[in-house]
Each structure stands twice: as structure tokens, then as C-alpha cells.
Structure 1
Amino acid sequence: MTEGEELLAGGNASGRVVRIGDTVRKPWLPTSGRTVEYLQALRAKGIDVPEVHGRDDQGRLVLEHVPGQLAMDLGPLDPDLVRSVGRLLRSIHDASEGLEVPPDWPVLLPATDPDLVCHNDCAAWNLVIDGDRIVFIDWDGAGPSTRLWDLAYATISFGHLFPDADVALAADRVVAFLDGYGADAGLRARLPATLVRRAEAMHDLLLRSHRNGGEPWASMYVAGHGGHWRTTTDFIAANKDTWREACRRTTSPADR
């Protein structure tokens, strides 16, 4: 590591990530050009995403360093904050409408009939909170998807639909997230089954990679991610009726 560089945690899929001053430097990937164009398009529409500062003399992608805490370090978020995250995701999806969806843009977990460019990893480990400012970081996995597929993954994370969760409290977070997003009846009806499929897809990726040696997912499987997504899938499936009921609920305007 060169002088002035601070190694940052994370970067499971994108390689070595460092901070230099108020910037973040990370490897330039084959998809980075399109990712940069997407970030710039979102910023042009008023979405608060990390500012792009081009490439450095080592060819690395240079981005704004967003100060604050990672949501994952705060545990399950309270419903008011979950509702705000839902509003943020909706604003990103709405701003993405009308952008080109290139069919040759590879993504890790493809959605059926992709029609929208999405972050694809909107989760607590990629959300920075700094007072009233909340910003999604780590856009390297962005690419073609659908509202439903992206929404399902975010709901799992911000609903905290994990085996250690209190099911009733998790359902309340699902309600808050969908209300913040402004999910319509169609999305709400399809979401419970999609939650199971989205968790299963993550487990299957890790398992396939473990069997064929595909990195970094093979190492992540052995390190416990495989077991986590297996038990998460089972937990979500076992409580699908609860999520279905949560998707039908909505908080009153006074509670929002």
C-alpha cells in the first residue's frame, strides 16, 4: 500500500478498495464505463450517488468518499429509517426509467426480462448513513434488472429477513419499506414469492462457485456466506404467509 492510502473493508467482488483523502479508488472493471455513465445519469436527475472523478494514474476508478456509518453496523434499522430507504430506492428506480438497458451488460444474478438498469446490491452493507443523508455506494454490480428483482433483494436486507430476526418486527419493517417505496398492488402481490427466489438465487450462485472454483464466491461460500443464504432462504420460505400479509398492510399517513 502506498503512502496516504487507507485500505477499506468490503470489496468482496470488486477487489482492493482504498481511500485517499476524500476519494475512493477501486479497480476499473470491464463494466465500469457503463457504471460511470449510469451514475452520471442518476446525478443529472438529482439522485445523491457518489460523484465520479475519472481514473487515476494507476487506471483505478476514482469516486467521492461518502462519510458516515454503514447501515449494516447499526443492526436492524428502525421503521422510520427503513421507510426513508424505501423512498430512496424508488427515486433511483424512477430516475432510471428511460435509460438504455443494454442486453450485453452482464450482471451477477440476471432477472427475467430485464427492463431497467438497477444497482442490484441495494443492501445494508452498501448504504452509508450520515445524519439525514443516506447514500448507496458500491455500484459495481449495476446493470439490467427489474424493479421487482431489485426490490426483493433490498426488502430482504432492510426488512432484516434473516434467521435471527423477530418475525413480527421484520414484517413491520417490510411494511415500512414498501410504504416508503410506494409499491403498487402488483409489486406487493408478486413480492413474497420473489423474496424466496432472490435469496435462493444468491445461495445457488455461491454453491455453484464452490463446486466450480469461481472466485470470489467460492471462498465466500466456505467462509459462511453459503450457509447464511441457505438458512435465510429457508427462513423466508417458512414465513412466506407473514410476508404476504405484510405486503397487504400499509401504515396510515399519520404514521409515515
Structure 2
Amino acid sequence: MRLLRDRGIDLPEPLGFDAQGRSVTEFVPGPLAMDSPALSPGQLRTVGAMVRAIHDASVGIDGDDLGLGPALIPIPAPDLVCHGDLTPWNLVLGERWVFIDWDGAAASSRVWDLAYSVQAFTLNDAGADPAEAAAHLGAFIDGYGADQALRDALLDTLPRRTWAMHDLLASAHREGREPWGSMFLEGHGDHWRGVARYVERHTQVWAKALRVAGAP
């Protein structure tokens, strides 16, 4: 967190540890995006730009040197230290728009981290009109400034990343790992299964939204 703050990213200031050894950070006031009215396309472009800035500022950071633990969902050949959960439930919308909850930062990849973020912000309602969701997806990715190669990789990654969240919850339930095991039974398992099927079912709609303007 200190490294990213030094590189120009606005995030909660680390304040050390309390008497019980707990990490303490600055409190950033404001509601979470998940508890706020739906973000407009312009606001989604802003969030996409925020995620891009975090990714770019993270280049060259070595997770092993920092003693970071493994990612919650490990991937082959990770090459970028990522937050891992840049989502509406971790974005504060106050005078400052700030991503919180950095304790899960670990080695991952740009496209894997981006896929989770863009899905959580734009494709997380299995009952939404796909055309409207696609417009939101396009706004987020335009804000991120993704080139066509990254957009193509994202299209391939979106279903896999969404199913990976469902599978994490399902395996945690089977193995008794908390809090994810209980979350699976409390509706999160059904939610992620439905969303994963929604993402898979409308791949061609997402493909059109992810096309760079003017591309064939």
C-alpha cells in the first residue's frame, strides 16, 4: 500500500499496528459502490481508469520481496501483484473514490484481475438486459484504455474467472474452509452460478462491446 501511494495511487494510508497486532489504516468516509445507486457509464469509465492506474503502478513490485501470501485463486504464471478484489464492495464513493481492503493483494495477472473487476461492476446481475450490461462493460473497458489484444484476452477470461469464484465457494463448502464455505450456503453459490451462466450465454454480446471503435 505504501509503495502504491508513493507511485501516485490514492488508497487508505497504512498507520501501522495496534496493541493487539492488528493492521490499522486510515478510515476513508463514504458509502460503498455496492450500496449506492447504479454507476452511470461515465462513472464506470472513471472506475476503469482507476483500475488501470493501479495495475500500471504495480508493475515491477515483487510480491515475494514483500512477503505477500498466495492469491485466493492462484493462476499459472502470475506476473503482476494485484489487489484481487477491485469490486463494488471494496470501492468507497465519498469526496475521494478509493479502493479499500488490500489485505488479499498477491501475485496474479492484469487480465485475471481486470476480468473480476469488470464482471463485478458490469456483469454481476444475471437478470439484467444483456445489451445494457454490454454498454456498461464497454464504458468500463474504454476507461481502462484496453487495446484490442487485452480485450480479446478478457473475452476469453471472463467466463473462466466468474466460474472460478463459484468453484472457490463450492470447494470451500466441501472442505469446511471459512468464511467461503458458509457464504456458499447463504446464497453466494447460487448467485455466482447464475452469473457465470449469464456471462457464458452472452459471449457474442460482450464481444461486440469489447471491440475497439472502428475495428472490423
Do they fold alike, i.e. is TM over 0.5? Answer: yes
Between the two structures, name the one with larger relative contact order (CA 8 Å, sep ≥ 6): 2
Equivalent residue of 1:53, what SS? strand
The answer for the alignment partner of 2:142 in structure 1 is 179
CA contact (8 A) 1:83 1:180 kept: yes
Report Cα offsets for 1:144-201 as digits up to 9, x if no partner.
0100000000010111332122211111111111111000111101112211001100
Q: Which residue, 72, 85, 96 being the options, matches 2:47?
A: 85
Measure how far apart 1:75 and its partner are. Answer: 4.1
Which of 81, 85, 101 lines up with 1:117 in the alignment?
81
Distance 1:170 1:249 in 2: 17
Counterparts of 1:192 and 1:142 in 2: how far apart (Å)? 24
Q: Please report how far the alpha carbon of residue 128 of structure 1 lies from its aligned counterpart in structure 2 after TM superposition.
A: 0.4
- Map of 1:163 onto structure 2: 126
User: 2:92 — aligned with what?
Assistant: 128
Is 1:61 paired with 2:23? yes
What TM-score do the two structures reach when normalised by structure 2?
A: 0.94
Q: Which runs of 4+ in 1 moved over 6 A?
A: none
Aligned counterpart, 1:201: 164
Distance 1:56 1:101 in 2: 24
> In structure 2, what is the Cα distance between the partners aligned to 1:90 and 1:117?
13
- 1:13 — aligned with what? none
CA positional deviation for 1:227: 0.6
CA RMSD of aligned residues (A): 1.5
TM-score by length of 1: 0.80
SS in structure 2 of the partner of residue 248 of structure 1: coil
Higher relative helix content: 2
Q: Residue 191 of structure 1 corresponds to which residue in structure 2? A: 154
1:250, distance to aligned residue in structure 2 (A): 4.1
Residue identity matched to 2:76: T
CA distance in 1, matches of 2:128, 2:27: 32
Question: Is 1:94 the equivalent of 2:68?
Answer: no
Question: More strand per residue: 1 or 2?
Answer: 1
CA distance in 1, matches of 2:127, 2:38: 11
Q: Residue 223 and residue 175 in structure 1: after superposition, are their counterparts in 2 closer, same or farther (change >3 A)?
A: same
- For structure 2, the 5+ residue unaligned runs are none
Check whether the contact 2:88–2:121 (CA below 8 A) recurs between aligned residues. Answer: yes
Kept in 1, the 8 Å contact 2:14–2:25? The answer is yes
- Partner residue in 1 for 2:199: 236
Q: Is this contact kept in 2: 1:207–1:226, CA < 8 A? A: yes
Residue deviations 1:211-231, cap 9 Å, x none?
Answer: 111111110001010010000
Are the aligned partners of 2:147 and 2:212 in contact in 1 as well (CA < 8 Å)?
no
User: Which of these residues, 37, 40, 55, is aligned with residue 2 of structure 2?
Assistant: 40
Cα 1:76–1:165 change in 2 (3 A) is farther
Which of 136, 145, 152 is residue 108 of structure 2 equivalent to?
145
Q: Which moved more, 1:103-112 or 1:60-69?
A: 103-112
Between the aligned partners of 2:37 and 2:64, the Cα distance in structure 1 is: 36
Q: Distance in 1 between matches of 2:212 and 2:40?
A: 17
Amino acid at match of 1:42: L
Cα deviation, 1:84-133, whole Å, max 9, x if unaligned, reads 000000100010011114297311011221110010001000000114x2
Matched, 1:219 2:215: no
